[in-house]
Amino acid sequence: MAAPMKRPCEESGTGISPSGEECLLKKQSTDCQMFLSWCEQEGIIQNSKVTVRRSGSCAQCGMIALDDISKGETLFTVPRSVLLHPATCSPVVAQRLEEDEDSLETESGWVPLILAVMYEHTNRSSRWRPYLDLFPDYSELDQPMFWDSNYMQPELRGTGIAEAVQRDLRNIDRDYHDVALPFIKKNADLFSEEKHNLDLYKRTVSFIMAYSFTESPDYDEDDDDSDDDDEETHPPMMVPLADALNHIAKNNAQLKFGKESLRMVATEDIKKGSEVFNTYGEIANWQLLHMYGFAEEYPENIYDTVDIPHRYLLEEARTHEAFSATMDERWKFLKELEAVSDDGGFVIGMDGVLAEDEVFMALKVITLDKETYDNLGPDDCPSPEEESFTNGELCNLPESWRGLLAGAANRTLKNFNDLHPKDTDAESSVPEELAKLSHRARYSLYVRMGQRKILERLVDFCRITW
């Protein structure tokens, strides 16, 4: 599920009276029941051991186990005919999209799906009406792209999210005006510039970003010819019922793609009364907040990451007399090897360095003795050796390497401290205090806290010697 479905149950955030909120909850419950009835009518087969409801979920809606579930059990099956994408939407719209396929091409490949979902969302007689009525106006979507810039920038500086949001907004504006709007104007009998405007386009993008599924190049199961499609990429699609599941890194269910249908399968035993969780993949907290509007508290997200900006390694190397004299020349060489860049970073995970090849190359070139470096040819590229950059193996690296890596990490930490000086106090807060924060403030803190902890662990392991 997307951002709104991740807010704790006790935090309504509706800003309406108790009686009004009760009416809203009743309507939401009715919509949910109508959706489940629609699923049955459309041939979606649901295991009697699970249901979708708002009570019992970690968020506003989720899938709950009504009985004990064994690993490997199928929780539900969705026929491919029920999926919402450009080829399955209203026939006349699908035909127009196919006819203009070339003119709708973009880097993301999303425009046809966005237009299809926009049309179905505003079509009261849409086949997917009970499904789309769960998201009546997309008002619950709350990814950072909808935050006021004056709030977002201070909260998310240094995390990588603000830059990603700015890229998204530029791309959305460009794709709408350059690609989608000409199609809308051309097909005025189906679309309306007034109704299918930039705001709806933006909210549809966020809906697809948060709720869609992307099929792997080859089927997960039941496909004897999967190797033939290894190079093919698939655009996202909307999968009713599958997006009712919330995400955590330590999930207990997974969506399997087959030729005729998609199946949600339990990946471990699930106890009665427990929530069924899907996974969106190995996604860091900053990506979760950026794309879905929520984050997990440290250390729950085992896939969390942080970037050490390349420039901080350069700055650290310049402070060491042994490297400073030829540092600019060596850095230029590393840029030519595409090991570093002006605005890039080394990705660090919970268990150590993930960008091992780039870090190895950078540390190797920086610390080469002058004679060896001078003899490097323009095509010479140090190849990774046996060094491991997992936290537990950092102690085996040369001392100079550990010093440079720890120094770059400390510079990243200092930047966090300068940008968010109150975070260290917030990190020691009891859960009750964190719960008082707005969901935006709390999730932003989770992102910053996780990134800070990863850096601190890296520095600590760099200091260990045997």
CATH value at residue 364: 3.90.1420.10
Q: Same structural domain for residues 287 and 318?
A: no
DSSP 8-state secondary structure symbol assigned to residue 88: T
Q: Which residues contact 412 (CB under 8 A, 6 or more apart)?
A: 306, 307, 308, 309, 312, 455
Whether this prediction's pTM lies above 0.75 is answered by yes
Listed range (161-175, 186-200, 323-337) with the worst mean pLDDT: 323-337
In a domain, 57, yes or no: yes
Q: Same structural domain for residues 223 and 268?
A: yes
Q: Same structural domain for residues 132 and 13?
A: yes
In a domain, 167, yes or no: yes
Q: Same structural domain for residues 280 and 388?
A: no
pLDDT (average), residues 91-119: 98
Given 245, 260, 292, the domain boundary residue is: 292
Q: Same structural domain for residues 287 and 311?
A: no
Q: Which residues contact 43 (CB under 8 A, 6 or more apart)?
A: 79, 81, 82
C-alpha dist (Å) from residue 150 to 1, 155, 294, 418, 447: 27, 9, 19, 18, 18
Q: What is the overall mean pLDDT for the chain?
A: 90
Is pLDDT of 57 > 70? no
In a domain, 299, yes or no: no
Range of the domain at 373: 305-463
* 264 touches 232 (CB < 8 A): no
Please give the pLDDT value at position 224. 47
Given 268, 292, 316, the domain boundary residue is: 292
pLDDT (average), residues 414-434: 88
Q: Same structural domain for residues 314 and 280?
A: no
pLDDT (average), residues 389-402: 96
pLDDT (average), residues 168-192: 98
Q: Same structural domain for residues 278 and 142?
A: yes
**Is the pLDDT higher at 358 or at 432?**
358
Given 240, 259, 292, the domain boundary residue is: 292
Please give the pLDDT value at position 403. 97
In a domain, 439, yes or no: yes
Q: Same structural domain for residues 39 and 130?
A: yes
Number of domains in the chain: 2
Q: Residue type for 458, please?
A: L
C-alpha dist (Å) from residue 413 to 35, 231, 307, 358, 451: 47, 40, 11, 21, 9
CATH number at residue 147: 3.90.1410.10
Q: Same structural domain for residues 103 and 218?
A: yes
Q: Same structural domain for residues 73 and 153?
A: yes
Q: Same structural domain for residues 285 and 315?
A: no
